[in-house]
Structure 1
Amino acid sequence: MEKDIILRNPSDLTVAWAQTILNKHHQNREVNDVKVVSVETGTTTRMRVAVDHNGPESFPRLWFVKFPSLNWRARLITALPQLLQTEVRFYKEIAHTLPVNRPCVLAGQSKPGKGATLVLTDVTEAGSIPGNPEDTLSPEQAELVVKQLAQFHAHFHNKINVNPHGYRWLAGSVRRLEDWLGSALAVPLMKRGLRLAADVVPPHCHPLALNYAKNRRKIMKFLNQGPQTLIHHDCHPGNLFWHQTFPGFLDWQLVRIGEGVSDIAYFLATALEPKIRRRHEASLLFCYYQVLQEQGGISMNFNQLLNRYRAHLVYPFEAMVVTLAVGGMMDKAINLELIRRSVIAMEELDSFESLPV
């Protein structure tokens, strides 16, 4: 029987717990000590842990541990859609096939009624630098991320078309519940978020945003009509890491089947200062389009892709406003900055006008 590794509090992290993880990889090796380096609370509780053990030099001594959020609002909003459970399953079943850089999984477990825990290698041990949500990327960095996303989307576009059953769980009952909750709570969360973000969302956007919230179910159906692939769905700069100049992707809780350009919209709207995005947006989109063409991952022309990009810009705006409304999931000043960036992108491309409402 698999030993329980599910954590509920930082105090649950003991030498015996770490020994269970080490035993999965190296029997007859011992953990001597564990030390919590840092604890952060957002949509999950995230701990960086230093583990002293006598295992091989190649086995990591810095671990990144995720378990349900200690913030009750964040825990409540993520529990029903089982976001961490989804990430655990993703790392166990799919992550090893990704054509993008991501952390290696050391252990993961989820149990009904008990929650989930995910243990990853800490990317800093290999000299990588984790991103921060408030990072502003350069055009050169943005191009590297866009190319990686294009390769990722093209790879799974072909696999999902050929073998949809292997990924059906990503669009199953849990995702349908998440979509239902998102639509059911859209109006009250949008109202609260707009009130809290009054200084960065122009007044004339408020009725448009509320109309979007009222029609969210219909709009989500429209946004899911494009070519289907695997998407990250949370591509802000805090979910990136950099190994030298090469990007990698963190936090796969929201991974799902969807339209690839939605990741590009989320990324460009949140990771670039508006004047930089404005100057380079078209060339970055065309770069994405070219890679998809080369790898057989697109079935539309560039103008059609551009129109889909415009429509998908509404989601990063909604996501950041809802994050602010829920509270406790992101530093407020950073959250407001990402709302500012996303609302400017959405306004400049008339995103609300591209929606079927």
Structure 2
Amino acid sequence: MRLGNLPKENPGVVSPSNFIGFGLRSSLQMKHNILARHPSDLNIGWAQRVVNCHCSHVTVSRVDLVSVDIGTTTRVRIAVEHDGPETISRKWFVKLPSLAWRPRLITGLPGLLHTETRFYNETAQAVPIAVPGFLAGQSKPGKGATLVLNDVTESGAAAGNPGDALTADRAALVIKQLARLHARFWNKFDLMQKYAWLAGIRQLEDHLGTALAVPLMKRGLRQAEKLIPFPLHAPAINYARQRRRAMRFLSGRPQTLVHHDCHPGNLFWSQTQPGLLDWQLVRFGEGIGDVAYFLATALTPEVRRNHEANLLAIYAQELTNCGIENIDGEILKQRYRAHLVYPFEAMVVSLAVGGMIKPETNRELIRRVATAVNDLDAFAAIPL
């Protein structure tokens, strides 16, 4: 597929019905080395190699650095001038390994950017929701990974922020999209076999998470101070000590493709429709886990309490509309309750590691997820 085929009216976003990208070939087949380690590497020569992957007749004349954001990855926005048609994106969003050593260590050992690069190369075209347009991606073990996407703002879309608090109406739109994503892969063993790599990439991540769970949980609880009610401390540490067993419980059937990191900063909005960014943690798992992560992080406690039951009902109904039969609402609620422990862990560990989310945003998300866990006694829903 060629870059020139990108839809003119919306070059920054790929809709479910027209996944037309650039660089969809495997990283191993790429003839042009686009690996970069630092924002300063994103120069005219590098951008020309990106374009040359599929459009050798287009010449790049200028590259301007727009912004650099360092967190779990280094996220760089650049403006690219070239003599190609308007259908070729001129605003690029580039992901590199984090320049901060702690996040780089936590995300680098399990190869999260490698995972996202492979997702865009091999799997994203099967996802039935909006994702950023894919320009190119390359991954080499031991040498890093580089992912180049269309900047969604070029098409008028707006990227979310991690601390955003959504209304119930906007949350319902996201819930419906998650249901459509999950229904597409729901116990579809042919698709799981086709994308079998997604089932086997989490072993190192799980081993690393289990090894670090207790010290990071203790450190995060101390740093969070009064944000986390004291009665949650003991069950949180017990969960960390038995994390492997908890993960097995949370990985139950039915299996589907899950994003696994559905906080508001990983959303973008094209007019009124949401799409998903940042697929570093993509895997096969239980769909209700995405719903729990999203509702716990994206809603204030007051909005979640008032609309939680209705939003779960919307999720179940949308699954049914998509052809998934025999959805048991009570079981769904119990699994939702149990899955709340994971966003709690994720936000507490992020605080403990540092440099992954802005501290004030991290603390607000901890407040939200801790309240959800406390409201629903989520740790008691896992048999430890």
Query: The TM-score by the shorter chain falls in which range?
Result: over 0.9
Within the candidate set 234, 248, 266, 1:221 is matched to 248
Distance 1:198 1:88 in 2: 37
Measured against aligned partners, the alpha-carbon deviations of 1:159-187 in whole angstroms (never above 9, x if no partner) come to 3x234321221121x31111111111100
Question: Which deviates the most, 211-220 or 289-298?
Answer: 289-298
Distance 2:109 2:324 in 1: 33
* Offset, 1:226: 2.6
CA contact (8 A) 2:32 2:53 kept: no
CA contact (8 A) 2:32 2:50 kept: no
Q: 1:181 aligned to 2:215? A: no
* Offset, 1:299: 4.6
Give runs of aligned pairs for residues 1-357 of structure 1, distance below 5 A: 2-159=31-188, 161-172=189-200, 174-297=201-324, 299-357=326-384
Q: Could you tell me which amino acid in structure 1 is paired with residue 319 of structure 2?
A: L
Q: Could you tell me which amino acid in structure 2 is paired with residue 39 of structure 1?
A: V
Q: Which runs of 5+ in 1 are unaligned?
A: none
Call closer, same or farther: CA 1:164–1:334 in 2, change over 3 Å.
Answer: same
Measured against aligned partners, the alpha-carbon deviations of 1:231-254 in whole angstroms (never above 9, x if no partner) come to 000000000000111101000000
State the SS of the aligned residue for 2:53. helix
Distance 2:51 2:277 in 1: 23
State the SS of the aligned residue for 2:76. strand
* Offset, 1:26: 1.8
* Offset, 1:97: 1.5
Call closer, same or farther: CA 1:298–1:240 in 2, change over 3 Å.
Answer: farther
* Offset, 1:43: 0.5
* Offset, 1:158: 4.7
CA contact (8 A) 1:197 1:321 kept: yes
CA RMSD in angstroms, aligned pairs only? 1.0
* Offset, 1:193: 0.5
CA contact (8 A) 2:316 2:327 kept: no
CA contact (8 A) 1:158 1:297 kept: no
Q: Could you tell me which amino acid in structure 1 is paired with residue 195 of structure 2?
A: Y
Structure 1 stretches of 4+ with a deviation exceeding 2 A read 161-164, 296-300
Q: Could you tell me which amino acid in structure 2 is paired with residue 150 of structure 1?
A: A
CA contact (8 A) 1:73 1:326 kept: yes
* Number of equivalent positions: 355
Call closer, same or farther: CA 1:261–1:298 in 2, change over 3 Å.
Answer: farther
* Offset, 1:29: 1.4
CA contact (8 A) 2:187 2:254 kept: no
Measured against aligned partners, the alpha-carbon deviations of 1:319-344 in whole angstroms (never above 9, x if no partner) come to 00011111111100100000000010
Distance 1:201 1:98 in 2: 36
Q: Which runs of 5+ in 2 are unaligned?
A: 1-29
Measured against aligned partners, the alpha-carbon deviations of 1:104-126 in whole angstroms (never above 9, x if no partner) come to 11000001110100000000000
Distance 1:330 1:213 in 2: 21
* Offset, 1:45: 0.2
CA contact (8 A) 1:91 1:105 kept: yes
State the SS of the aligned residue for 1:230. strand
Q: Could you tell me which amino acid in structure 2 is paired with residue 162 of structure 1?
A: D
Measured against aligned partners, the alpha-carbon deviations of 1:17-37 in whole angstroms (never above 9, x if no partner) come to 000111123222110100010
State the SS of the aligned residue for 1:197. helix
Q: Could you tell me which amino acid in structure 1 is paired with residue 374 of structure 2?
A: E
Could you tell me the TM-score, scaled by structure 2's length? 0.91
